[in-house]
Amino acid sequence: MTVPLFDVKAKLSEYVTMAENGEVIEITKYGKTSAVIVSLEEYEQLKRNWRPSFVEQLNNWKQKTGGLTSKEYAEFTDALKRNKEIYSTKEDLF
């Protein structure tokens, strides 16, 4: 269900009850979805299943280590390319 923010302000309790009963409430602001109301159960499941993306992991690592030198970056991208080539066909996986 999609509802405008002004409606949620007037009927928040009603929408929270709907979310508790399994409904997903998308809240729009200026015609675009800007937030979502979900049940606590759904939220907890989303948190359990969340995994940082590769880019997020790389950025975290860069912050901890101070980043890569040009040589390290080249070695890293070469390794990624080699892995992509190795695992690009089904036969290579088995």
Judgement on whether residues 37 and 59 belong to the same structural domain of the protein: no
pLDDT value at residue 24: 97
Judgement on whether residues 84 and 45 belong to the same structural domain of the protein: no
Judgement on whether residues 43 and 78 belong to the same structural domain of the protein: no
Per-residue pLDDT tens over the stretch 31-65: 999 999 999 999 999 888 877 787 787 777 777 77
* pTM for this entry: 0.55
Judgement on whether residues 8 and 25 belong to the same structural domain of the protein: yes
Judgement on whether residues 16 and 40 belong to the same structural domain of the protein: yes
**Number of domains observed in the structure of the chain:** 2
**Amino acid identity, position 46:** L
Judgement on whether residues 29 and 62 belong to the same structural domain of the protein: no
Q: How far apart are CA 50 and CA 57, in angstroms?
A: 13
Per-residue pLDDT tens over the stretch 61-94: 777 777 777 788 788 888 888 877 766 655 544 4
Range of the domain at 76: 54-93
Judgement on whether residues 6 and 44 belong to the same structural domain of the protein: yes
